[in-house]
Structure 1
Amino acid sequence: MGKRVLVVEDELSIQRILQYDLMQSGFIVDLASDGEEGLQKARRNSYDVMILDVMLPKRDGFSVCKELRKEENPVYIVMLSARDDEFDRVMGLDVGADDYMTKPFSSREVVSKVKAIMRRKGMHHQKACTERLSYQQLILDQRRFEVLINEEVIDFTLKEYELLEFLIHHQGQALSRNLLLDRLWGYEYDGDTRIVDVHIFKIREKLKPYGIKIKTIRGIGYMLEDEKND
């Protein structure tokens, strides 16, 4: 079965171009023209990726994203912002978006991003095994992409899970923001490293009650302490 994408965009011309180019690349594409319609379709169907505009009739993209994450919907959300505004980007990440793009963009950029997301998700499934990855009292279920503490599932988005998994695999190593950006978002050096900082902040807030800390390495990036040296 083909991979499914939901495009939530009220500008008909953008909507149709994205639909055509995504379908030409083999994706199954559904459309929604306002936030409420997008929310209901995301609830009824299982999508791999959701392309979600910020400015929408009836319900804005931030509200839609926040609601889906509250319901623990795992769809990978790419938010579209009409301007290169840091507030919009940070707000989108704060409510649970995995990524963002700034208008204007070419539809080929969007298709390339969706393909990259699918490749990373496919790599995760290939690496998935019956064993669990552990760090201190954390357990990562690599088949279900879940984070557990004391057998209780902690609410993590897919991107937060990927970032935590990468930190655990490289514990004891100082990881630069550019490296994390390149490996987990697929950007090269022109990426905005603020997206890494926002996701690290959110992970820290979720792990703080359990005493698990991610160290900031000044001028470089982040690191999990090596358990063997604790």
Structure 2
Amino acid sequence: MSTDLPELHRPDGSPLRILAVDDEQMLTDLLAMALRMEGWEVRTASSGLEALQVAREFEPDALVLDIMMPDLDGMAVLRRLRESGSLVPVLFLTAKDAVGDRVAGLTAGGDDYVTKPFSLEEVIARLRAIIRRTGHAMADEGQSILRVADLTLNEDSHEVMRDGTEIELTATEFELLRYLMRNERRVLSKAQILDRVWSYDFGGKSSVVELYISYLRKKIDAGRTPLLHTVRGVGYMIKAPQ
């Protein structure tokens, strides 16, 4: 278990549940060992269909999901999870290193990715980051509520409300909205958003930011007075109407 970072666990004190999916047995064995050293409960699967079955039974807090697998690939597994209503965060494993493939995984609804070959330490670090974004991990901080006009975001419970109506967000959408709300009336560039929400850049491929801003607009602003604004050539900001 990591000694230099706080332990993460479910709010009820039970271990976090991680599902590791890859058709390479040696790789899943190594991942399971590293994840268990964090004190987490781990299940593994070697195919897409098996991953869906285990996910239904195990109800994991996060998935480590290989893209290239027999029967269903990782993208198809993620689509089925999202169609079933699951918002479980997904860390993609991919042997592909093209920028387009990385963006495809994220725009399909994944939360992050690592490219093979990777270090186990990197997998753990990225998992910790996306799990903390979901609210599945117990928060050490006191309750913190952000407000912009009639929009509220509870950083502890991960509840988002607008005008009394609850809004359901994915982990990445939540983190993006939180970053914007923490910087109300400040214009944030695509590069700043990529660095804060995804922790890396895309070598100029910033379309993922535009996509997630559009997702937020549909959920936050649709049929209401807009709070999210584009400042052409600069970036994005959130502000209350004048």
CA distance in 1 between partners of 2:236 and 2:204 (Å): 17
CA distance in 2 between partners of 1:21 and 1:167 (Å): 34
Match of 1:53 in 2: 66
Match of 1:35 in 2: 48
CA distance in 2 between partners of 1:181 and 1:10 (Å): 31
Per the TM alignment, residue 6 of structure 1 is displaced from its structure 2 partner at its CA by 0.8
User: How is 1:95-106 mapped onto 2 (pairs within 5 angstroms)?
Assistant: 95-106=108-119
1:74 aligned partner, one-letter code: L
The alpha-carbon distance between structure 1 residues 117 and 158, as it changes in their structure 2 partners (threshold 3 A), is closer
Per the TM alignment, residue 18 of structure 1 is displaced from its structure 2 partner at its CA by 1.4
CA distance in 1 between partners of 2:114 and 2:190 (Å): 19
Bigger Cα displacement from structure 2, 83-92 vs 13-22: 83-92
- 1:117 pairs with 130, 136, 144, which one? 130
**Cα deviation digits, residues 164-202 of structure 1 (max 9, x gap):** 122122110011333333333344898975543332232
- 2:105 pairs with 62, 72, 92, which one? 92
Alignment of 1:82 with 2:95, yes or no, is yes
Alignment of 1:217 with 2:231, yes or no, is yes
The alpha-carbon distance between structure 1 residues 104 and 201, as it changes in their structure 2 partners (threshold 3 A), is farther
**Cα deviation digits, residues 60-102 of structure 1 (max 9, x gap):** 2112212222333232111222212344333322332111222
1:53 aligned partner, one-letter code: D
CA distance in 2 between partners of 1:188 and 1:87 (Å): 13
Percent of pairs identical after alignment?
A: 36
Contact 2:65 2:92 in 1 (8 A): yes
1:13 aligned partner, one-letter code: M
CA distance in 2 between partners of 1:181 and 1:170 (Å): 15
**Cα deviation digits, residues 96-123 of structure 1 (max 9, x gap):** 2111222232223212222333455588
Contact 2:16 2:137 in 1 (8 A): no
CA distance in 2 between partners of 1:88 and 1:80 (Å): 11
Which has a greater percent of helix? 1
The alpha-carbon distance between structure 1 residues 128 and 43, as it changes in their structure 2 partners (threshold 3 A), is farther
CA distance in 2 between partners of 1:217 and 1:100 (Å): 29
**Pairwise CA RMSD of aligned residues?**
3.0
How does the TM-score come out when normalised to structure 1? 0.81
Match of 1:206 in 2: 219
Per the TM alignment, residue 15 of structure 1 is displaced from its structure 2 partner at its CA by 1.4
2:237 aligned partner, one-letter code: M
CA distance in 2 between partners of 1:88 and 1:28 (Å): 30
SS of the equivalent of 1:210 reads coil
Match of 1:147 in 2: 160
Bigger Cα displacement from structure 2, 179-188 vs 167-176: 179-188
Match of 1:158 in 2: 171
SS of the equivalent of 1:125 reads coil
The alpha-carbon distance between structure 1 residues 124 and 167, as it changes in their structure 2 partners (threshold 3 A), is farther
The alpha-carbon distance between structure 1 residues 61 and 156, as it changes in their structure 2 partners (threshold 3 A), is same
User: How is 1:122-201 mapped onto 2 (pairs within 5 angstroms)?
Assistant: 125-127=139-141, 129=143, 133-187=146-200, 193-201=206-214
Contact 1:90 1:198 in 2 (8 A): no
SS of the equivalent of 1:174 reads coil
CA distance in 2 between partners of 1:78 and 1:72 (Å): 18
Match of 1:64 in 2: 77
The alpha-carbon distance between structure 1 residues 123 and 204, as it changes in their structure 2 partners (threshold 3 A), is same
The alpha-carbon distance between structure 1 residues 80 and 179, as it changes in their structure 2 partners (threshold 3 A), is same
